[in-house]
Structure 1
Amino acid sequence: MASLIRLSTFTVLVVLFCTGAALAEVRTESVEYEVDGEPFVGYLAYDDAVEGERPGVLVVHEWWGLDDYARRRAEELAELGYTAFALNMYGKGKLAEHPEDAQAFMQATLGDRRAMEARFAAGLSILQAHATTDPERIAAQGYCFGGAVVLNMARLGLDLDGVVSFHGSLGSDIEAEPGSVEAKVLAFTGGADPFVPAEQVAGFVEEMQTAQAELRLVSYPGVQHSFTVPDADETGAKFDLPMAYDRRADRHSWRTTAAFYREIFTGD
C-alpha cells in the first residue's frame, strides 16, 4: 500500500511492509521524499502494538550513508516503544563503499550548512507527521558523521528534547552561543579514538559549559572509533582505519541512551 503525503515543501511517498518480527510487532516504512528537488529515501520503524502517539527519535547515519546499521538502530528504538526515522543526509542511492567516497559525501554535507539544516529538517518533519509520533517529544541520535550532525543541530538551537552522539566529532565550525542549546546533550566517545582527540573533547566540554547546555559525556578508556558497530574491526582492517568494535562500550552506551530517553520523555 502506498500513500502520498505533502509536508510543506516535501513530497513523501510512503511504502509500508512488515519486518516479519511477530513478537516485537515492529513495522517499517521506506520513505521517499525530496529536498530542494533532490530525491532522498529514509527508513521509519515503529511498534504497532503500542497504542497512541509516542516520542520520536531521528537516527543519523555514519559517513558511509544510510545503511543497514542505521536501519537496525531505528528498529531497536522501535522495540523500546519509540517511532524512529533513519533519515538520509546524502541523497537517494548515495552509499559509500570506500572511505574516499564517504569523506567526499560527508565534507560536501557538513560544508553546506543550509543543505545540512534542510535535510535534517525534512527528516524531522516526516517523523513529526507520522500518525504514531508525538510531535512535541522528539530526540535525535547520530553515529560518527551523524553524531556531528545532531550536535550541530543542538548548537543551532533546534527544538529537540535531546541529542545523542555516538563516536561523533565533537568539534565544529558552528559554535553554540550562551543559552542557545535547548536540547539535553549526551555524548559517547572512545578514549583511544584518534578522530576525537583529548583536546577536542576538552574544547567541546568548555563550549557546552559556556553555552549553559546540559551535557553528559562518557569517555571509554582504550576504546577506538566506531565502537558501536559490530563490523568495525573488519572495516578497519580492510581500509587500514583506526576503528574497532567494543561490546562493553556498545552495550553500556545503549543502556545509558535508553535511560536518557526515559528521563527526557517521561521524567523517570
Structure 2
Amino acid sequence: MALSIKTSEIQYTAQDGTTLIGYFAAPESEKPVAGVIVAPEWWGRNEYTEQRARELAEHGYAALAIDMYGDKKVTTNVPQASEWMMQTFNDPETIVTRASAGLAALAAQEEVNADKLAAVGFCYGGKVVLDLARSGAPLHAVVTFHGTLTPKAPAQPGTVKAEILVLHGELDSMVSLDDVARFKEEMYAAQVEHEVIIFEDAKHGFSNPLADERAKANGVDLGYNIDAEQKGLAAMYALFKNRLGE
C-alpha cells in the first residue's frame, strides 16, 4: 500500500554559484526517514524524474529529484540536452559540485534522517551518482538505470562508502558491454561492494515509458522495456531496504 506523501520545490545553490531547484517528495511521517537523491536523464529535471521521487516517497523514503542544469531547465530535444550535459563536463568538478549540493539540500530537510542517504540515477544521472559516490560522499547505496559508467576519475580504495548496483540493458548501444566490464574492473580494483545486472533485450532508456517516443522524435537508439524496468526497480528497493532499513 502506497504511503500518503507531500511534495514541494527546494531551491539551493551549488558552490559554482548555480541556482538549482529540486523537487522534494516525502512520506507523511512523524519521524525522519532515509533520503534518496534522484539524478535525471540528460533531458533535465523533468516529470519522469519527479515521478520516481514520488514513488520513492510512497515506499517510505524522502526523495529529492535534483537539478543539474540550473533553474530546473528541461528539454525533449537531443541537441539541447547534449549541450546542457556537455556544459557540466567542461569543468571536471561541476557534476560532483552540483550533485553534492543536492545531497546536502536533501540531508538538511527535517523529514530526512541524514545518517541514511542513498542515490539513484538514470542515463546521464547514472554518471552523476557514480561520480558522487567516487568522491567519497556519505551514501549507503547507489543505483544506476542505463547509466553512463565512465568515471571523472577512477574510484580509489577506501573512498567509496556506498554499495553500488548497476542496472544495464544488454542491447544498450550508448553504453557498451565493454564499458560495463571496465566499470567492474574499476570497482574490483577499488574494493567496492557492487553488483551489475544485465537485462536481456533491453536498450538504453529501458526504464522510461517515453523512451520509444523520444527515440522516434530524435533518431536515437532508446527503448522502453517494462520487464527490465520492473525487475530493476525491485532490485533497487531490495538494496535500499538492506542498506537503509524500512
1:117 partnered with 2:102 = no
Task: Quote the offset at 1:67 in angstroms.
Answer: 0.2
Within the candidate set 167, 173, 186, 1:188 is matched to 167
- 1:61-76 counterparts in 2 under 5 A? 61-76=40-55
Output one character per residue of 1:119-152: Cα deviation in whole Å (capped at 9) or x when no partner. 1121111111111100000000000000011111
Higher strand fraction (1 or 2): 1
CA distance in 2, matches of 1:77, 1:126: 17
1:205 is paired with a residue of what secondary structure? helix
Q: Which amino acid aligns with 2:59?
A: L
Q: Which of 90, 114, 130 is residue 151 of structure 1 equivalent to?
A: 130
Seen in structure 2, the aligned counterparts of structure 1 residues 93 and 169 have a Cα distance that, compared at 3 Å, is: closer
Which amino acid counterpart does residue 238 of structure 1 have in structure 2?
Answer: A
Deviation of the 1:33 alpha carbon: 2.4
Deviates more, 1:251-260 or 1:110-119: 110-119
User: What is the match of residue 27 of structure 1?
Assistant: 6
2:234 is aligned, of 237, 240, 255, to 255
3-state DSSP class of the match of 2:164? strand
- Alignment correspondent of 1:37: 17
Aligned length: 244
Counterpart in 1 of 2:185? Answer: 206
Secondary structure of 1:208's match? helix
- For the structure 1 residues 170 and 37, does the alpha-carbon distance in structure 2 shift closer, same or farther, using more than 3 Å as the test? closer
In the alignment, what sits opposite 1:47?
Answer: 27
- Residues 1:102 and 2:81 aligned together: yes
The answer to whether the Cα contact below 8 Å between 2:45 and 2:72 also exists between their aligned partners in 1 is: no
The structural deviation recorded for 1:174 is 1.4
Deviations 1:18-62 (A, max 9, x none): xxxxx74210011122234332211000111x2201100000010
Give secondary structure in 1 for the equivalent of 2:93: helix
State the identity as a percent. Answer: 35
Cα-Cα RMSD: 1.4
Query: In structure 2, what is the equivalent of residue 240 of structure 1?
Result: 219
Structure (1 or 2) with the larger CA radius of gyration? 1
**1:245 Cα offset (Å):** 0.4
Unaligned stretches of 5+ residues in structure 2: none
Correspondence for 1:19: none
Deviates more, 1:222-231 or 1:172-181: 172-181
Q: How far did 1:94 drift?
A: 2.1
- Specify the code of the residue in structure 2 equivalent to 1:235: R
Gap regions ≥5 residues in structure 1 = 1-22
CA distance in 2 between counterparts of 1:39 and 1:156 reads 22
Aligned-partner Cα distance in 1 for 2:186–2:19: 35
Per-residue displacement from partner, 1:41-96 (whole Å, max 9, x unpaired)?
11000111x22011000000100100000000000000000100111010005212
1-structure distance, mates of 2:100, 2:130 = 14
**For 1:152-186, what per-residue CA distance to the aligned partner results, in whole angstroms no more than 9, with x for missing partners?**
11112211101111100112231111222111100
- 2:212 and 2:75 map into 1 onto residues whose CA distance is 18
Name the structure, 1 or 2, with higher relative contact order (CA <8 Å, separation 6+): 2
Q: Is this contact kept in 1: 2:131–2:152, CA < 8 A? A: no
| 1:163 paired to 2:147 | no
What TM-score, normalized to structure 2? 0.95
Tell me how far 1:110 sits from its aligned partner.
Answer: 2.8
TM-score, structure 1 normalization: 0.88
Task: Tell me the amino acid that sits aligned with residue 38 of structure 1.
Answer: T
